[in-house]
Amino acid sequence: MKAALLTLLAGVGLVGCTGLTSRLDGNLPRSGSLVPASNLQLTPSLSIPLEKLVFLGAYVGAAYLILDPLAPNWEIEEAPLPGNRIHLALKMKRFYAGGAGEARLVFNRRAKNLVQYGGFDGYQVMDYSEGLESSVLGSRRVAEGDIRLIGKGDDSPQGCAPPACSTPESATKPLS
């Protein structure tokens, strides 16, 4: 999908640049439009105006940046607490297409990762809650809870587990 989008935008850019080379010596546009009035001839009977391709590319690019279908649905923040306890805070991305009911599943999956990589026998959910967080850009699903790691693991689980897979920031700060 990403490659197709980049190929389309590169093609539109190349077609558009052929008409711009003579206009790049002053203020743009001096007269007329920035996008030349030309068509992209796909087949002998089908041609698409370049102006429509530019607008379509802008709409697709804006939708991709806003929705970002390849981004994970949930961000996970972790905070170590005394006594082998860890606080997990989950935030769902603001614009999504499904996955609204999976907070508990993501919470349990992260707790199991902490148990496995920390050398513990299991975990106990001490506290858990879900809700909606409102802001100017709309509401966002959130969940948070505390777990206690049980078993023969370390007394300090910091650094034992890999960073949470669903948060880009956690790759640099796994226990933020």
Query: pTM for this one?
Result: 0.55
45 CB-contact burial (10 Å; exposed 0-12 / middle 13-18 / buried 19+): exposed
Mean pLDDT of the region 129-155? 84
The predicted-structure confidence for 3-41, as pLDDT tens digits, reads as follows: 665 666 666 665 555 554 554 555 655 666 677 778 778
The predicted-structure confidence for 47-57, as pLDDT tens digits, reads as follows: 888 888 888 88
Output the pLDDT for position 124. 94
Q: Can you tell me the distance from the alpha carbon of 137 to that of 62, in angstroms, rounded to the nearest whole number?
A: 16
Output the pLDDT for position 10. 65
Counted residue by residue, the chain has a size of 176
Mean pLDDT of the region 79-87? 92
Output the pLDDT for position 170. 45
Mean pLDDT of the region 130-142? 86
Residue spans per domain, the chain: 2-67, 74-171
Q: Can you tell me the distance from the alpha carbon of 32 to that of 115, in angstroms, rounded to the nearest whole number?
A: 65
Count of beta carbons in the 10 Å neighbourhood of residue 3: 7
State the Cα angle at 81 between 117 and 78, rounded to 5°.
60
Mean pLDDT over the full length of the chain: 76
